[in-house]
Chain A
Amino acid sequence: MNSSESVLIHDAQHGKEHAFRALYDLNVDVLYRFLRQFSTSNSDWEVEEWIQRAFIKAFQRIHAFRGDSLFRTWLFRIGFNEMLNDKKASPNIVQLESIPDADYEEHYSQEHEQSFECGDSLKRLLDKLPESRKAVFVLYEIEGYSHTEIGEILDISESASRAFLARAKSQLRILWNESMRMQ
């Protein structure tokens, strides 16, 4: 946590309104663009709802935030859980995959081998992945989080995060090849 963020957190913990606003301004864009990848609605209301609930919960629990991780990592975790809770409540139940730690080595060797096209085509392929794989892929490859941080956000182990990423890439490769064959 950098010093300016520490000051903002400290001020927010003491109820200073400017700090809440600053924390919101600093993080709303990144949280929005991440959560939007999980929205199945054409309108924005679904993502807005997750964002609002994430910030409300984060601010309500700001006294419990001890600065062991970045505020953004903590906020992403809350936001991701809000999204998952909604999805679990919907008819198409989504569950995080469970990956035994031992499986990690099997997948890790593939992790750095693959690269994918950017933009819309990648998004379309990502939409076909389970939420957990998609989340790890976006957080690691796009947002630049480490596996340790992803573990904190998704409440999984670091090795599970690596395994999810490897699986995501493997599945993306298959999907990519399929889409190429169809063209």
Chain B
Amino acid sequence: MNPEQFYSNDDMPNKVQKEKMWTAIHQSNINKAKHKTNILQLEKKSFAAGMVASFIIILSLAGGSELYRMTGRGEESVSLQAYSRAIEEFESAVKAQEKSMKILPENDEIVREIRHGRQRQIQLIDEEIQRIVGEMSDPALQTFKKEKIQQLYRMKLTVMQDIVEITEFGT
């Protein structure tokens, strides 16, 4: 039987319908796949960059500490109290962020993978913060170290913000 004899014009989609359907298919499927690929590539790059930045700070911290010991110079003009307050603010901001992260879903494999990498990054930063805090007994190094702790907290916040954005994208 010839299909033209069986089907009527009503059985065929018109141009507008075809474009409408294609737009829906394209948006929900191909764009999503592309975004996922791009995000994965982007995240791999930014994760690597983040790790490099962590090491640079850790190295500069170690180098700076050594320099302090060698020169014996302290920046007395910087208020230690101001640094302490700043660190406290960062800590409270980080805690609030950590709370909101716990309720985010992990229903996407790629997002989970990226998030796992970011959490490892946070772990490294935390370890470094703990190490510096443990060495705070040396008054000559306090100003310098508090500044570095502040930097590390700032980095930690950035990483956590990344996790929130990645997870939100994946949902």
Q: Which A residues contact B (CB, under 8 angstroms)?
A: 15, 17, 20-21, 24, 28-29, 32-33, 36-37, 44, 48, 51-52, 55-56, 59-60, 118-120, 122-123, 141-144
- Could you tell me if A28 and B21 are in contact, using CB atoms closer than 8 angstroms? yes
In the complex, how many angstroms separate the beta carbon of B20 from the nearest chain A beta carbon?
7
A143 cross-chain contacts in B, Cβ below 8 A = 3
What is the bound-complex CA distance between A32 and B20, given in angstroms? 14
A-B contact count (CB 8 A): 65
Given contacts A21-B22, A51-B21, A59-B25, contact A118 B1 (CB under 8 A): yes
Question: Which among B6-14, B67-75, B90-98 touches the partner chain?
Answer: B6-14
In the complex where A28-B18, A44-B17 touch, is A15 in contact with B3 (Cβ < 8 A)? no
B21 near A141 (CB under 8 angstroms)?
A: no
Give Cα distance in the complex from A140 to B150, angstroms: 73
User: How many interface residues does B have (CB within 8 Å)?
Assistant: 25
Of B26-34, B49-57, B139-147, which stretch is located at the interface? B26-34
Q: How far, in whole Å, are A20 and B21 apart by their CA atoms in the complex?
A: 13
B109 vs chain A, min Cβ distance (A) = 14
Answer whether A29 and B12 are a contact pair too, CB < 8 Å, given A21-B22, A48-B17: yes
B25, A52: Cβ atoms closer than 8 Å: yes
